[in-house]
Structure 1
Amino acid sequence: MTKAARWGWVITLVTLTGVAGVLAFVLTIGTTSERGFFERHYHWLYWVNVAVAAVLTLVILTAAVQLVVRVRRGRFGSRLLLKLAGIFALVGVVPGVMIYAVSYQFVNRSIESWFDVRLASALEAGLNLGRGTLDAMVADLGAKTRDAADQLAGSTSSQLLTMERLRDKLGARTIAVVGGNGQILLESGGDTRQLTPDRPSAAMLRQARSGAVASQLEGLEDEAAALQGGAQIRALALLPNTALRLGLDERYLMVIQRVPGSMLSNALAVQAANNEYQQRALERVGLRRMYLGTLTLVLILAVFGALLLAVTLGNQLARPLLLLADGVRQVAQGDLSVRPVLGTRDELGGLTRSFADMTGQLADARAQVSRTVVELDAARTHLQTILDNLTAGVLVFDADGRLETVNPGATRILRLPLPAYLGRPLADVPGLADFAASLAQRFEQSVGGDGDLDSEPWQESFELQLDPKQHALALLVRGAPLPYGARLVVFDDISEVVSAQRSAAWSEVARRLAHEIKNPLTPIQLSAERLQHKLEAKLEGADQAMLVRSVATIVNQVQAMKQLVNEFRDYARLPSAQLKPLDLNALIQEVLSLYAEAQERGHLVAELAPRLPLVKGDASQLRQVIHNLVQNAMDAVQERADGRVVVRSSLSLTDTGAPRSVRLHVVDNGPGFAEKVLKRAFEPYVTTKTKGTGLGLAVVKKISDEHGTRIALRNLHPAPDAGSPPDDGTELPVIGAQVSLSFSNLVPATEPGAANAKT
């Protein structure tokens, strides 16, 4: 329990004790106080009430102000505490006000009922009745005493005996003869507690002397003594002087009669009630104020106790709720540290313990999630590293067919900016609409009756034409379903494999053709020459000429077939390249020396970049490559008077200025290649020549692959202005074709023998 709570309970106990004391005090003084108590103590009781009420009101106002300040400052839980305090205060104040209103009316009506007019009249009538009865008894005893005095004066018998008879007759307690000075002369009867009866007073003697008789009621001053027999009626009558003796003192007959006890008690009760009623009537205003003040004080005490209990119980109830609310707020902010709990055994304490357990479980779960996220990030990084280093292309699509993941291999193979289209369908990528439709159709075909649950991986080859000016890509595509409707596509560029397979197939075909065709060619040629040798001398004229022509035709065709067979043999039996450092410019000049006549006519031009680094290659095979390219270009422009072929070498540099590759370009201004031929120009037996075998570019491609050299073939379209220089720096109009080779296998300058290498 906090210090504030302890002080709150102490003040509450003190207040309740004070309320109990005040109520007990009020009840006590209301029943046992002497007359005039309220009148004497009203002022200090009033100010005590005012002081206590002021103190309690100040405490209540202080607590209310503190609560309002706490709410305005936005202290956490202040609004909940305000609501609880308001609820408890409302529960305590409203019934208190109602009880106060009822009690106020009750006190007013009760006090007014105490002083009802009929009650006052009844008390007055009873008092008058008692007084009349006593007065009648006093008067009757006085009259009887006067008669007894006359009888005593006229009696001839003994005076004492006469007095005894008179006492019995009157029922008096004492009869005595009293002198003029009040001295008892003769007595009959009397009070055993006194030796002699009380002497009459001088006033009574004077009254009896003047009126012949006097009577009075005595002993009512002390109610207790009166009730014990002290109340009596005294009568005094003048005795007549029958002896005619002058000079004798006056004598009086005194009769004392006891008042009956029942009558006396009733008379005293009526008199006491009347006196008390009159006293209360005088104190009526003060009594009302005192009762109402005490009632108001009790109300204030009750309200104060209710408010104090409201704050205390509100704190007790709000503490676990605030603890939970603060814990929820901190948990919402991500703080899952150990939560404090209450030691109480009630439901709220159990709730705080459950919340602390839940927070601990959340902290453990978050730690587990953090570890899982770290492991997942590591796995994702590992997977991304694998994807980034895969040569195959990887595409992942979500359930809606949008591109979700792309690896660099896919961008490299397709040569398209696929990462820019993440979150979009593959069909949005330029040139891939048909490919996307084919993939979707293939996935639909692989889905079983139950949807993705029966989907199986599939594999299929696709030919993708991204650019009409370039070769079509041969792709081997594998697809597989992923959870939640996602799809995985993995593809490889098998263009080189297909090309190699085709080259191998054509090599086998060439080998078989060379084997099958070469064997009969020599016998055919020998047979034709033998026929000419045997028959030429025996024939004359036209027959001899026809024989010579026929044999010449056979021999020429056989030589052509031999050349074709040799080309097939060379293509099929192309030896492995022996890579050595060589100077590409020197090799180009050596080959171009075979075309001296074309150079003199200006149909062949060499533009060689100086100081090229050495490349690694097989001189004999590269010589054949250059020869085939130059020969094909010369064949393409042979029908044009302005035909021209440019052989150019250049150096490509990196961003840092280091050599990257040495390039060889063979450019002509011939008719170029047809689109259908351009796509398959490097395949065997594909040619635009009427007499060509179609193996020239196939051999070039095969040798380039052996050297790890990239080769590209493209048509050069006309420029807007035919007279403007071409964009590659030559003087040729851009209307022909260009074959380019890029040698990246360079010889480092520090390698031994690089400076004096010879072709």
Structure 2
Amino acid sequence: MSVSVSDARIVPRAEEKQRHVSGWIGGSIVVLALVSALLTFLVLSGSTPVAPVHEVVIGVFVLNALLIIALLVIVIFEAAVVIRARKAGAAAAGLHVRIVGLFSFIAALPAILVAIIATVTIERGLEPWFSDRMRDAVFKSVEVADAYAASQCKSLGREIRILADDLTRAKPAFDADRRWFDSFLTARATSLGVPVAMVMQPPEKVIARANIDVLRNPPMPDKAAFEDAQAAPDPICVIPRNSRVFGTLMKLPTYEGSYLYTAREVDPLAVEFPAVARGAAVEYLAIDARRKGVQVAFASMYALIALILLLSAIWFGLSFANRLVAPIRRMIHATDQVSSGNFYVQVPIKRSEGDLAHLGETFNKMTAELRRQHDGLVTASGVIDRRRRFTETVLSGVSSGVLSLDSEGHITIINRSAEALLGTGGRLLGKPIVEIAPELASFVAEALHGRMRQSAGQVVISRGGQDRMVNVRATREGESLGAGLVVTLDDITDLVSAQRTAAWADVARRIAHEIKNPLTPIQLSAERIKRRFGKVIVEGKDVFDQCTDTIVRQVEDIRRMVDEFSSFARMPKPSLQREDIVETVRQVVFLWRVGNPETTIEEQLPHDAVQARFDRRLISQALTNVIKNATEAIEAVPAEEREGQARIDVRFERREDGRIVIDVTDTGKGLPQEQRQKLLEPYMTTREGGTGLGLAIVGKILEDHGGGIELLDRPDGARGARIRLWFPETGPVQEAESGAEGARNGSLGSDRDNNKNRTSL
């Protein structure tokens, strides 16, 4: 069953839902902010029906500020998620941070550059319009307009004074004859070149008027003009609104409540220009007064818009980075799962991810193939493991030593039997065979590099003071040179010893039979000669008696030797009984201590009884022979060469593996270092006058008990020897068995105890 990466809990579902909601909220705020920035630009540029008045500008600023705060909160939240993932060591967190940083840099750099350029451009663009030359030009235009208006007013003022003086003189005519007065007014106005001349009372009551058809309906002065004329001693200039007329108004003192109003039509631009110039100057001054404020306002608005764009770009960068990093993060987690051995991981595929989705499909195919191959390898490994365990079981169960060597002669496989036979401590795997067992070097070299695949022979391996006869067979694994080897080691020491023992037993039986038959007649004849002729012989009687006694004594010695031969040849089967082995050892030691007071014999025996199945008489005989050999070995050392007192230590041990071990350690001359095991063969002795049957009989007794004998040196390194006797507490496994296999395993028992840390099959 496949396991998806989302199931592997890369991103918890609650966190995914939270990111989905925050994405929608962030996107909505970004869209609103961008729309607000666009509307702000349109409003301030006057491209909308909404006038950019103070209240509108303030509202736009507040709206943009709120949206910027919301954007800032969203961006900070997303950035905090990224930073928290980076600190937590999330997959692809570094890539996530780099992408966000890149987008932020790309968005911030143009905004900063445009802000600098825009600020400089606005400053440079406004500077010419507010320079001293421009200021002078604006005010000069106002002065020109005022001068033109003043000249017109001055001309009309001069004319209105003349006309006013004339009318003052004509006041009686005004009172007497109005028609004449009108004609007079018309004549004087015409002569002065004034198209409009009338006597008025406010607001628009015309008392007298010059009948000139140039301006039929001239614009009338307003109420304010009459008030100004009332207060002014001189004529005032009147420029009615929305007209092409310049006029003057003057109070007529002689005409109660009346005013003289004259007007002349001029170019419309001459009328409009002063007002326009003056308005432009006022507006120019107002703009100049609030220029800094305008610059700050535009800069602030641009900063708000730029900040909106920047934060929006950062949010888009975060969103894009999330969409880009999410599949990469799933992929990294999936590869981590595969590297840890989980080949059932699957990456969720989202078609919206494009090429990354294709990458995920490829990864899923790869994991499926890896899973198939892994399952095949697991199956094959199981088969190989079962075969290996079977091979190990076979190798560990066989009595022969088995070694596998590579092409360079290094040990790759070794079973326990080979370890025990080679008798070296420590790990053997990987070590060269020539260092572990130099005796096998010739067989290994011949099998590795020779023409024949196999090399066989016999060799003596000496370990721990014991010589083992080994049958060696080295076989090359392949036909080509340089292939590995399989070396088998068969310990035939006990077999050879048994064969020799059997041969010597047969020889001893035959010799005993052939020698024992004439011994009795010889002895009887010697005794008869002594009795018959002992009284007759007078001369040389001492010599005669000595010769006959020698014959009898030698016959007894030969008979004793023949009896030993017979005992060795006809060694009885042990009669196993459950008895106290400790008491048996104690009695033997006591007898030898009493019979050899010059030798110190100490025993290390437990206080409690130890029950075992053994033949009391045979074990006592074996221990007696060993102690006897120890005393003879001590006596063989010259007195001047002895180190300390003559001492024999008998130590008893009951081991956890169920073996009874008896060690006899002496301070005698010791054992030879070479061919020590031959001392266990019949008729092999290093003592003058010895028969060579003592240790052979001991070995035979212990073999019949399922145990063995070991010839060792003293553990403290001093001169002397240690003879180890051992047999199972429960007796031999099969009482009728010859015991050869038990002797072989027994002789190797101490090696196994000393090599517990050895690596083997």
Deviations 1:577-633, CA, capped at 9 Å, x for gaps: xxxxxxxxxxxxx999999979x99xxxxxxxxxxxxxxxxxxxxxxxxxxxxxxxx
1:189 aligns with 2:213: yes
* 2:265 alignment partner in structure 1: 258
| Distance in 1 (alpha carbons) for counterparts of 2:316 and 2:44 | 25
In the TM superposition, residue 262 of structure 1 has moved relative to its aligned partner by 3.3
Deviations 1:465-516, CA, capped at 9 Å, x for gaps: 23698784455553334899541235475979x99xx99xxxxxxxxxxxxx
| Distance in 2 (alpha carbons) for counterparts of 1:44 and 1:716 | 110
1:139 aligns with 2:154: yes
1:25 aligns with 2:43: yes
Deviations 1:20-68, CA, capped at 9 Å, x for gaps: 122222222999958xx44x77766665565555554444444444544
Q: 1:23 to 1:131 in 2, by over 3 A?
A: same
Structure 2 residue matching 1:178: 3-state secondary structure: strand
Q: 1:346 to 1:200 in 2, by over 3 A?
A: closer
1:350 aligns with 2:358: yes
Larger Rg: 1
* 1:583 alignment partner in structure 2: none
* 1:338 alignment partner in structure 2: 346
| Distance in 2 (alpha carbons) for counterparts of 1:339 and 1:744 | 71
1:117 aligns with 2:139: no
1:277 aligns with 2:298: no
In the TM superposition, residue 233 of structure 1 has moved relative to its aligned partner by 1.2
Q: 1:373 to 1:206 in 2, by over 3 A?
A: closer
Deviations 1:186-225, CA, capped at 9 Å, x for gaps: 5332656x5x8637869659959997x84523224xxxxx
Structure 2 residue matching 1:13: 3-state secondary structure: helix
* 1:466 alignment partner in structure 2: 461
Q: 1:325 to 1:191 in 2, by over 3 A?
A: farther
CA contact (8 A) 1:461 1:474 kept: yes
Normalising to structure 2: TM-score of the pair? 0.57
* 2:450 alignment partner in structure 1: 445
After TM superposition, the structure 1 = structure 2 runs for residues 218-237 of structure 1, keeping only pairs within 5 Å, are 218-220=239-241, 226=242, 230-235=243-248
Structure 2 residue matching 1:28: 3-state secondary structure: coil
Residue identity in the other structure for 2:114: I
In the TM superposition, residue 101 of structure 1 has moved relative to its aligned partner by 3.6
CA contact (8 A) 2:457 2:473 kept: yes
| Distance in 2 (alpha carbons) for counterparts of 1:352 and 1:339 | 6
| Distance in 2 (alpha carbons) for counterparts of 1:263 and 1:56 | 58
CA contact (8 A) 1:177 1:253 kept: yes
CA contact (8 A) 1:426 1:436 kept: yes
Deviates more, 1:347-356 or 1:461-470: 461-470
1:84 aligns with 2:99: yes
Which of 408, 429, 444 aligns to 1:422? It is 429
Normalising to structure 1: TM-score of the pair? 0.57
* 2:528 alignment partner in structure 1: none
| Distance in 2 (alpha carbons) for counterparts of 1:267 and 1:215 | 17
| Distance in 1 (alpha carbons) for counterparts of 2:245 and 2:576 | 158
After TM superposition, the structure 1 = structure 2 runs for residues 574-593 of structure 1, keeping only pairs within 5 Å, are none
In the TM superposition, residue 369 of structure 1 has moved relative to its aligned partner by 2.0
Deviates more, 1:118-127 or 1:273-282: 273-282
| Distance in 1 (alpha carbons) for counterparts of 2:443 and 2:722 | 44
Residue identity in the other structure for 2:413: T
Residue identity in the other structure for 1:327: A
Which of 471, 485, 489 aligns to 1:488? It is 485
CA contact (8 A) 1:395 1:403 kept: yes
In the TM superposition, residue 308 of structure 1 has moved relative to its aligned partner by 1.6
In the TM superposition, residue 126 of structure 1 has moved relative to its aligned partner by 0.2
After TM superposition, the structure 1 = structure 2 runs for residues 147-162 of structure 1, keeping only pairs within 5 Å, are none
Structure 1 residue matching 2:348: 3-state secondary structure: coil
Structure 1 residue matching 2:45: 3-state secondary structure: helix
Q: 1:709 to 1:462 in 2, by over 3 A?
A: farther
CA contact (8 A) 1:393 1:409 kept: yes
Q: 1:362 to 1:164 in 2, by over 3 A?
A: farther
CA contact (8 A) 1:123 1:270 kept: yes
| Distance in 1 (alpha carbons) for counterparts of 2:271 and 2:481 | 114
* 2:475 alignment partner in structure 1: 478
Which of 33, 46, 67 aligns to 1:15? It is 33
| Distance in 1 (alpha carbons) for counterparts of 2:722 and 2:448 | 52
| Distance in 2 (alpha carbons) for counterparts of 1:372 and 1:165 | 139
Residue identity in the other structure for 2:486: V
After TM superposition, the structure 1 = structure 2 runs for residues 618-629 of structure 1, keeping only pairs within 5 Å, are none
Q: 1:653 to 1:474 in 2, by over 3 A?
A: farther
Deviations 1:77-117, CA, capped at 9 Å, x for gaps: 54443333233223323443343344344445545554333
CA contact (8 A) 1:342 1:353 kept: no
Residue identity in the other structure for 2:386: A
| Distance in 2 (alpha carbons) for counterparts of 1:464 and 1:216 | 151
| Distance in 2 (alpha carbons) for counterparts of 1:372 and 1:260 | 115
Structure 2 residue matching 1:638: 3-state secondary structure: helix
1:198 aligns with 2:198: no
1:287 aligns with 2:207: no
* 1:4 alignment partner in structure 2: 22
* 1:551 alignment partner in structure 2: none
| Distance in 1 (alpha carbons) for counterparts of 2:614 and 2:184 | 179
Residue identity in the other structure for 2:439: D
User: Size of the alignment, in residue pairs?
Assistant: 559
| Distance in 1 (alpha carbons) for counterparts of 2:24 and 2:228 | 82
Deviations 1:156-201, CA, capped at 9 Å, x for gaps: x9998998898888886x5344367742445332656x5x863786
In the TM superposition, residue 251 of structure 1 has moved relative to its aligned partner by 8.9
In the TM superposition, residue 125 of structure 1 has moved relative to its aligned partner by 0.6
Deviates more, 1:635-644 or 1:114-123: 635-644
In the TM superposition, residue 133 of structure 1 has moved relative to its aligned partner by 0.8
CA contact (8 A) 1:53 1:300 kept: yes
In the TM superposition, residue 143 of structure 1 has moved relative to its aligned partner by 3.5
Deviations 1:324-370, CA, capped at 9 Å, x for gaps: 22222222322232222332353333333333332333222322222
CA contact (8 A) 1:178 1:254 kept: yes
After TM superposition, the structure 1 = structure 2 runs for residues 597-616 of structure 1, keeping only pairs within 5 Å, are none
* 1:313 alignment partner in structure 2: 320
* 2:747 alignment partner in structure 1: none
| Distance in 2 (alpha carbons) for counterparts of 1:418 and 1:725 | 21
After TM superposition, the structure 1 = structure 2 runs for residues 29-44 of structure 1, keeping only pairs within 5 Å, are 37-38=53-54
Q: 1:342 to 1:461 in 2, by over 3 A?
A: same
* 2:10 alignment partner in structure 1: none
| Distance in 2 (alpha carbons) for counterparts of 1:494 and 1:76 | 63
State the percentage of identical aligned residues. 16
* 2:238 alignment partner in structure 1: 217
Deviations 1:110-141, CA, capped at 9 Å, x for gaps: 45554333222211110110111122122223
* 2:370 alignment partner in structure 1: 362
| Distance in 2 (alpha carbons) for counterparts of 1:104 and 1:418 | 89
Over aligned residues, Cα RMSD in angstroms? 6.3
| Distance in 2 (alpha carbons) for counterparts of 1:139 and 1:191 | 21
Gapped runs of 5+ residues in structure 2? 1-18, 174-178, 501-505, 525-553, 579-609, 630-673, 686-699, 714-720, 727-731, 739-761
Structure 2 residue matching 1:188: 3-state secondary structure: coil
CA contact (8 A) 1:651 1:659 kept: yes
Structure 1 residue matching 2:300: 3-state secondary structure: helix
Q: 1:218 to 1:592 in 2, by over 3 A?
A: farther
Structure 2 residue matching 1:395: 3-state secondary structure: strand
CA contact (8 A) 2:407 2:485 kept: no
CA contact (8 A) 2:447 2:475 kept: no
Structure 1 residue matching 2:379: 3-state secondary structure: helix
In the TM superposition, residue 403 of structure 1 has moved relative to its aligned partner by 1.4
